[in-house]
Structure 1
Amino acid sequence: MTEPDWVAHAIWWQVYPLGFVGAYPSEQPPGPAAHQLARVTAWLDHAQALGASGIALGPIFASRSHGYDTTDHFRIDPRLGTDDDLDALVAAARERGLRVLLDGVFNHVGTEFPRYRAAREGDAAARDWFLGGPDEFGTFEGHGDLITLNHANPAVADYVTEVMTHWLDRGVHGWRLDAAYAVPPRFWTAVLPRVRAAHPEAWIVGEVIHGDYAGLVSAAGFDAVTQYELWKAIWSSLNDGNFHELDWALRRHDEFLDSFVPQTFIGNHDVTRIASRLTEPEHVALALVLLLTVGGVPTIYAGDEFAFRGIKEDRFGGDDAVRPEFGAPPLPVDEAGRQMFALHQFLIGLRRRHPWLHTARTEALRLDNRRYLYRVHRGDDELFVALNIDDGPVGFGLPRPARILAGGGAPPPQVGTEFTVPAPGWLILEPA
Structure 2
Amino acid sequence: MVVRPVASRRGCGSAGVTLSREPAWVRHAVWWHVYPLGFTGADPTGAHRWPGRGLAHLRDWLDYAVRLGVNGLALGPIFDSTTHGYDTVDHLRVDPRLGGDAAFDELVAAARARGLRVLLDGVFNHVGRAHPAFTETLALGAGAPRAGWFVPTGDAGPDGVPRYATFEGHDGLVALAHDNPAVADHVAEIMIHWLDRGAAGWRLDAAYAVPAAFWARVLPRVRRAHPDAYLVGEVIHGDYADLVRRSGLDAVTQYELWKAVWSALNDGNLFELAWALKRHDALLETFVPFTFVGNHDVTRLASRLREPTHLAHALVVLCTVAGTPNVYYGDEQAFTGLKEERVGGDDAVRPAFPTGPDELAPHGWPTYRLHQELIGLRRRHPWLHAARTATVFLANTRMTYESAAEGQRILVALNLAADPADLPAPGAVDVLAGGGDLREAGTGEAAVRLPARGWAVLATTDA
TM-score by length of 1: 0.97
Conserved in 1, the CA contact under 8 Å of 2:439 and 2:447?
no
2:16 is aligned to none
Structure 2 counterparts to residues 309-388 of structure 1, below 5 A: 309-388=336-415
- Structure 1's consecutive aligned runs of 4 or more residues displaced over 6 angstroms after TM superposition are 412-415
| SS in structure 1 at match of 2:298 | coil
2:25 is aligned to 6
- Counterparts in 2 of 1:413 and 1:394: CA distance versus 1, 3 Å: closer
Shift in Å at residue 401 of structure 1?
4.0
| Amino acid in structure 2 at the alignment position of 1:65 | T
Conserved in 2, the CA contact under 8 Å of 1:15 and 1:55?
yes
1:397 is aligned to 424
Conserved in 2, the CA contact under 8 Å of 1:208 and 1:226?
yes
Match of 1:265 among 254, 278, 292: 292
Conserved in 2, the CA contact under 8 Å of 1:271 and 1:312?
yes
| SS in structure 2 at match of 1:160 | helix
Conserved in 1, the CA contact under 8 Å of 2:428 and 2:458?
no
Structure 2 counterparts to residues 175-214 of structure 1, below 5 A: 175-214=202-241
Shift in Å at residue 380 of structure 1?
1.5
5+ residue gaps, structure 1, are: none
- Counterparts in 2 of 1:215 and 1:27: CA distance versus 1, 3 Å: closer
2:35 is aligned to 16
Structure 2 counterparts to residues 34-73 of structure 1, below 5 A: 34=52, 36-73=54-91
CA displacement, residues 312-335 of structure 1 (integer Å, 9 cap, x when unaligned) = 011111100000011122143444
Shift in Å at residue 268 of structure 1?
0.4
Shift in Å at residue 296 of structure 1?
0.2
| SS in structure 2 at match of 1:337 | helix
1:76 is aligned to 94
2:151 is aligned to 131
1:166 and 2:166 aligned = no
- Counterparts in 2 of 1:413 and 1:336: CA distance versus 1, 3 Å: farther
Conserved in 1, the CA contact under 8 Å of 2:68 and 2:368?
yes
The alignment's C-alpha RMSD in Å is 1.5
Alpha-carbon distance in 2 for matches of 1:147, 1:331: 42
Shift in Å at residue 428 of structure 1?
0.8
> Percent identical across equivalent pairs?
57
Match of 1:91 among 102, 106, 109: 109
Structure 2 counterparts to residues 96-111 of structure 1, below 5 A: 96-111=114-129
1:245 is aligned to 272
CA displacement, residues 144-167 of structure 1 (integer Å, 9 cap, x when unaligned) = 000000000000000000000000
CA displacement, residues 45-101 of structure 1 (integer Å, 9 cap, x when unaligned) = 111111101100000000110000000000111111111110000000000000000
User: Which has the higher relative contact order, 1 or 2, with Cα contacts under 8 A spaced 6 or more apart?
Assistant: 2
Shift in Å at residue 27 of structure 1?
8.1
CA displacement, residues 226-266 of structure 1 (integer Å, 9 cap, x when unaligned) = 00000000000000111111111100111111110111000
Conserved in 1, the CA contact under 8 Å of 2:45 and 2:84?
no
Alpha-carbon distance in 2 for matches of 1:415, 1:404: 13
Shift in Å at residue 26 of structure 1?
6.2
CA displacement, residues 280-306 of structure 1 (integer Å, 9 cap, x when unaligned) = 001000000000000000000000000
| Amino acid in structure 1 at the alignment position of 2:150 | F
| Amino acid in structure 1 at the alignment position of 2:146 | A
CA displacement, residues 130-182 of structure 1 (integer Å, 9 cap, x when unaligned) = 11256110111010000000000000000000000000000110000000000
Alpha-carbon distance in 2 for matches of 1:242, 1:325: 35
- Counterparts in 2 of 1:334 and 1:325: CA distance versus 1, 3 Å: closer
Alpha-carbon distance in 2 for matches of 1:373, 1:91: 43
| SS in structure 2 at match of 1:74 | strand
| Amino acid in structure 1 at the alignment position of 2:337 | G
Alpha-carbon distance in 2 for matches of 1:119, 1:30: 25
| SS in structure 2 at match of 1:383 | strand
Alpha-carbon distance in 1 for matches of 2:209, 2:267: 31
5+ residue gaps, structure 2, are: 1-18, 155-161
| SS in structure 1 at match of 2:193 | helix
| Amino acid in structure 2 at the alignment position of 1:171 | G
TM-score by length of 2: 0.90
Alpha-carbon distance in 1 for matches of 2:388, 2:79: 38
| SS in structure 2 at match of 1:245 | helix
Alpha-carbon distance in 1 for matches of 2:87, 2:440: 56
Shift in Å at residue 403 of structure 1?
1.1
